[in-house]
Amino acid sequence: MTRFSTVFFSICLLLVANAGFACDYPSNRATIPDGATAAKEDLLAAQRDVKAYLAELITYRECIVEEEKLARLAMEDLAPEVEQQREEILNKKYNASVEDEERVAAAFNSAVQDYNKQKK
């Protein structure tokens, strides 16, 4: 019964801790134009938006790592299975943001390459 209580308390603390932090996933406001038809100004505007979004993703990752550190400090006697679950959740959030960053950067780079092809 004490093991169940520890796991239950840890899950409750996790839910309460998450409600108190503001690590919201940033929304992608970058619109990447078709490089084959875009004007240079459109690509420059997209570049600014992409850079801002990528910076927000970095801030998000820093936030979730710090949030997890603080949550673990607040917990005592964390059961190994709960600790492993928390680590898996953190890794999934972190990796999803890295994948999103790579996807957006690749799309922008592709648009730039298409733009450069049309200018040759």
Amino acid 6: pLDDT: 54
Note the helical H segments in 21-79.
40-74
Tens-place pLDDT, residues 75-100: 888 899 999 999 999 999 999 999 99
As a whole number of angstroms, the distance between CA 36 and CA 112 comes to: 9
Could you tell me which residues come within 8 angstroms of residue 85 by beta carbon, excluding any fewer than 6 positions away? none
Amino acid 59: pLDDT: 97
> How crowded is the C-beta side of 49, counted as CA atoms within 13 Å?
16
Parts of the chain with a pLDDT under 50: 7, 16-19
